[in-house]
Structure 1
Amino acid sequence: MVDRDIDDGATVGAAAELAGVTVRALHHWDEIGLASPSVRTPAGYRHYTEEDLQRLYRIVAYREAGLGLDAVREVLDDPTADIGATLQDQRSQLAERIHDLQQLDKRLERMSHAHERGILLSDEEQAETFGADWDARRSEQARAVWGSSPQWAQFAERSASRTREQWQSLSDAMSTLQRDLGEALDEGVIPGSPEANNLVERHRDVFSHFFPLTRQMQVCLGRMLESDPGFSAHYDGIRAGLASWFRRIIDESARAHGIDPNAATWQ
C-alpha cells in the first residue's frame, strides 16, 4: 500500500500507483503541462501534493471515459467548458464507433460463413435461383476439393458481398450462355471459328464473376467439364455431346492465343 500521508507529498512512483497509471504516463503529462508535481523537496525531488493527486484522479476518470488529452485539459482548465456537452459529444462518437464495429462484425460474419459454405443462400433460395435440379451440396463438395486454394478464397470473398438478386443475374447469364452453346452445337459451329471463340470469351467473362479465370485455367476447367460425370451429364443433358464440344472450342481458342491445351496447367 502507498502511504498517502506524506508531509512533503507523493513521489512519482507513489502517485502513479495511487492514480493507477504508469510512471511513464505521469512523465508525459508533466512534459505537456497537463499535470505536474508542484512541490520540490529539500533534496531536489518533485512530489505531488494532495491537490495534484486530485487532478490526476480527474484526468484518469475522463481518460477512462474516452476523452483525449486535449479534451481533458479543456474540461479541467477552461472555466467556460461545458463538461456535460463534452461528455455527450463523447457518447455520440462512441455510438458511431459501436455502429461501425457492429457493421464490421456483420461483414466478418458473412466472410467467415462464405469461406465455410461458399454460397450464402438457403437450400430453398439456391433451388429457386439456380433451378430445381441444383444440388446445394455442391458448395460443400467444392470446398472439400478446393478449400485451400486462392480461387476458393476469391470465390468466398465475392460471395460474401453478393446479394440474392446478383446471384440470380449471374445464374441467368450462365443459363443463357449454356443455351447458346447448345444452339451453336446444333448449328454446326466449328471450334476455332469466330462464333466459337466468342462463346469461349463469354464463358470466361461470366465465370470470372466467381474468380479470375485465365485462359490456361479455362482449358483445365474444360477438361473437368468433359471428364467429371456430374458436369458432363449436365452439359450433355442440354445437348448430346455438348461437354466434349465445349472442351474442344476452349482448346482451339487457347491455341489461337499461343497456349498448348495439352500443356495447360491451373495458373
Structure 2
Amino acid sequence: MPDATDADGLPVGQVSTRLGVTVRALHHWDEIGLARPSLRTAAGYRLYTAGDLERLHRIVIYREIGLGLDRIRAVLDDSATDVPGALRAQRTQVAERIDRLQQLGAGLDRMIDAHERGLLLTAEQQAAIFGPQWDPDGPARARQRWGDTTQWRQYAERSASRGPEEWQAIADSVAALDRALADAMDAGVTPGSPEAGQLVERHREVFASYFPLTRQMQVCLGRMYEADPAFAAHYDGIRAGLATWFRRIVDAEARAHGIDPDTATWE
C-alpha cells in the first residue's frame, strides 16, 4: 500500500463522520478485507480515496437494508452473484419486517389506549355486554382513582388484547358468581364453611381476569364492597345485605389462611 500525504485522501475520523458509521466499524471492515483504505500516511494512518468512499457508500447502503457482511462482499466482489436476485430477496425480508413493525405499532396503540381508557369498547358495546345500568364513564373514573397502581397496569395490558367476545365471557362469569353468592346467602351458608370457602376461591379466580388477586387484597376488596356506596349498592341490589355477607366470608377464609383481616393491606 503506497504512502501518501493527508491531501491524497480522507482520514478515518472524517470518513466516519461523513458516512455515519463508527471508526470501529471502519477498522473492522479493513481487518476483514471488506473495505480497505488504498493509502497510508508515512506514519501509518489510514487514508480513504474517492474510490474507497464509493465502495464504503455501497457497503453502508447494503448494510442498512439488512445484508450481512459476507453477503455484501459477494455482491461487491463476486461476479457470479445475482445482485438483482439478492436485492429482491432482501426486499421481501424488508417488507415482512415492515409488516411486523406495523402490527407491533397497532398493538402499541391499543396498549396506550388501554392504559388511558381501561376498556377498548364503545359505549354501545359496553351497554350490550355489561347491561343498561352500566356507566360508560366508570372506566375513566377508575383510571383517575387507580391509574398509578400496578394493578391498573396489569388490567390495561390484559384489556388491550380483549375484544367484545372476551369481555362478554368475563361479564357472564361475574354475573354467575353474583348469583351463586346470593343463592348461598339465601341458603344460609355460613362464613368459614367449606361452601363459603369455595365461593371465596371462585371470586379470586374470576377476579384474576382483571389482575392477580392475593388473599390480603381480597380482604381489602371485601371492605370496599361493603363501605363504598356504589359497590354496596350493586351487591345489596342483588340481595339485601350481600355486601356485608361477602365481606364476612372473605374475612373468615383469610383467617383460615393465617391472615388477620383487621390488619390486611393491599399487597
Counterpart position of 2:143 = 143
Q: 1:46 to 1:198 in 2, by over 3 A?
A: closer
Q: 5 Å matches for 1:10-159?
A: 10-13=9-12, 16=15, 20-21=19-20, 24=23, 25-39=25-39, 47-159=47-159
Q: 1:130 to 1:42 in 2, by over 3 A?
A: closer
2:153 partner SS: helix
2:162 partner SS: coil
Q: 1:65 to 1:219 in 2, by over 3 A?
A: closer
Shift of 1:79: 0.8
Provide the identity percentage.
60
1:259 partner SS: coil
The 8 Å contact of residues 254 and 260 in structure 1, kept in 2 or not, is answered as yes
1:19-60 Cα offsets, whole Å, 9 max, x none, are: 635571433221110122335567766544554444334334
Structure 2 Cα separation of the partners of residues 122 and 194 of structure 1? 41
One-letter code of the match for 1:10? G
Structure 2 Cα separation of the partners of residues 8 and 140 of structure 1? 67
Q: TM-score, normalization: structure 1?
A: 0.89
1:183-214 Cα offsets, whole Å, 9 max, x none, are: 11111111111111111111111011111111
The 8 Å contact of residues 36 and 52 in structure 1, kept in 2 or not, is answered as yes
Q: TM-score, normalization: structure 2?
A: 0.89
Deviates more, 1:166-175 or 1:40-49: 40-49
Shift of 1:103: 1.0
Unaligned runs of 5+ in 2: none
One-letter code of the match for 1:207? F
Q: 1:193 to 1:85 in 2, by over 3 A?
A: same
The 8 Å contact of residues 222 and 250 in structure 1, kept in 2 or not, is answered as yes
Give the alignment's Cα RMSD to 1 decimal: 2.4
Counterpart position of 1:169 = 169
Shift of 1:69: 2.1
Counterpart position of 2:246 = 246
Q: 1:38 to 1:157 in 2, by over 3 A?
A: same
Unaligned runs of 5+ in 1: 1-5
The 8 Å contact of residues 8 and 47 in structure 1, kept in 2 or not, is answered as no
